[in-house]
Amino acid sequence: MSYCLNPSCPNPQNSTQTSVCQACGTKLLLRDRYRVIQTLGQGGFGATFLAIDEALPGQPNSVIKQLRPTATAPHVLEMARELFRREAETLGKIGNHPQVPRLLDYFEANQEFFLVQEYVSGSTLQQIVKRDGPLIEHGVKQFLSEILPVLEYIHSNRVIHRDIKPANIIRRAQDLKLVLIDFGAVKYQNQQQAANASEQTAFTSYAIGTPGFAPPEQMAMRPVPASDIYALGVTCIYLLTGKSPKDLDYDPTTGELLWQRHVHISDHFVSVLKKMLEVSVRHRYQSANDIFRALDLEPYLKSLESGMTNQTGNASRKPNGQRSDPDSTGGGVPSSPAARAAMAIRARQIRPESISLPSGANRNNLFDSRASSNTSVRSRDISGGRGREFTGEKSKVPVRLDAEGLQNYYLKGKRDFASHDLNSLSLPKVNLSSASFHQANLSKINLQGANLFSTDFGRANLSRANLRDANLIKAYMSNADLEGADLRGADLTSAYLLNANLRGANLCGANLTNAKLTEDQLAMARTNWMTIRPSGKRGMW
């Protein structure tokens, strides 16, 4: 079918090979290449269509947005044009990210504006929840681990999305990655005051964003990056409950969304979501990194608490076995820094960087101990499809997992694979974000194209590992052995590589923007002109 884009056409549907609309005479082939075949939807300022590009081999699909405001007042038309121009400018600026649609074309025809962008095949999160039901806590945390890097990326480009919601996040069918769409409501943080003033005049009657998802400061035309954090928090509530904001109650005195009685999640995750949903922007998380820090500590709370309690609890004991703790106050409150930190961790009220350590203590060593605990460990060996429970102490070697077993454990919420022998496993394109492989043997493992975002490889053996095109953003690789590893095309943005062995590692085409490593380390590896250095530039250091 060929669809006519003339808003006043009485019968826009035409046969596939028609070049001119049979009802109104409008030319059907836009720019002599784009043939609209289906309508996708219409909002306040534009209509969206599915089209094929007849000028390219294979006639790939694309999305065409047509400026089509429902109101005709001059200031509304002016605002619609501005929003349309912004979306094209934004996609042209940040559309090189694999989870943001690419801008393909932007033009005016017959005094109408058109924007052509990459077609993303898949289902929105709204459609997925309506079809499959709400997610559990682990599923929502996995969602955050996938979407927060995208949010961090657009914010780093000084862009505020302003319309984050389940309907604007697609699970792409091709690779199952999340894609953030609809950049028609974006705002740039570096706009000048004069530009802001004119915007206020034009937008007075049209607060940008979706009611319920947009926070108060955004509805008052004062959006900041943390406004997207609020909308993301509301999206998490929708994923957990299947309820839109309009279906939930509000506290009439504070304006807070009343959602907690509708969910069954851990106290720690409740605290994270509450801070994402703070009505006061100053008390809300200010960046995606803040949320990562809050979530990254959780899997290690018990081992941290245990290790720090043992550190203080074993300090002094009487001969008869009674504890004599000089660090405790008379009221039973520990006074030493480590003991207070253990108590604070139990209360889940602190971040790693806020822990006060005893004089001379090493913060990195403290948090490296998260991968081990003095308590018993329960694991399962499902090699060959069989399950076998075992309990062992720290000194015992964990039962070896095969590739299927590792993935099954991860899907069930297990994140700690410290000290495991996983050499030579084949796990291409696997998702193991935020897992811990501290001191694990990963020699010759195949993790090509894997999602290893914020994964702990501290002191792990990754010699001759295949990490080509892997997502290693914010990976912790201190003291890891990466000798001879294939890291071609890997994204190591903000990865921590200090003291890692990079002798013979192939970093050709790798992205090391803001990565922590020394010039001497990099000199030991193989690089080329496509390697992005920690400075963010290609070429010389």
Query: Which residues are annotated as catalytic?
Result: 163
**C-alpha–C-alpha distance, residues 130 and 256, integer Å:** 25
Instruction: Tell me which H or E stretch contains 67.
Output: strand 61-67
| Secondary structure string (H, E, C) spanning 378-416 | EEECCHHHCCCEEEECCCCCCCCCCHHHHHHHHHCCCCE
- The count of residues in the chain is 541
Q: Under DSSP, is residue 375 helix (H, G, I), strand (E, B) or coil? A: coil
Instruction: Tell me which H or E stretch contains 270.
Output: helix 267-276
**C-alpha–C-alpha distance, residues 118 and 179, integer Å:** 11
**C-alpha–C-alpha distance, residues 434 and 149, integer Å:** 13
Token pair recorded at residue 299: 């899997």
Q: Residue with structure tokens 């020699």? A: 443
* Distances in whole angstroms, Cα of residue 104 to Cα of each of 52, 97, 118, 158, 392: 12, 14, 7, 22, 57
Token pair recorded at residue 366: 């403290």
347 contact partners, CB below 8 Å, separation of at least 6 = none
Task: For the beta carbon of residue 10, count every other beta carbon within 10 angstroms.
Answer: 9
Q: Under DSSP, is residue 148 helix (H, G, I), strand (E, B) or coil? A: helix
**Helices and strands counted in the chain (H then E):** 13, 17
Q: Under DSSP, is residue 213 helix (H, G, I), strand (E, B) or coil? A: coil
Q: Under DSSP, is residue 339 helix (H, G, I), strand (E, B) or coil? A: helix
**C-alpha–C-alpha distance, residues 313 and 336, integer Å:** 11
Closest C-alpha to 490, from 538, 449, 440: 449
Token pair recorded at residue 439: 């001191």
Look up residue 126 and give its DSSP letter: H
Task: For the beta carbon of residue 170, count every other beta carbon within 10 angstroms.
Answer: 24
Look up residue 527 and give its DSSP letter: -
CB-based contact 445:466 (threshold 8 Å): yes
CB-based contact 40:64 (threshold 8 Å): no
86 contact partners, CB below 8 Å, separation of at least 6 = 183, 184, 186, 188
22 contact partners, CB below 8 Å, separation of at least 6 = 11, 14
Closest C-alpha to 370, from 294, 438, 453: 438
Residue 253's Cβ-count burial label (10 Å; 0-12, 13-18, 19+) is exposed
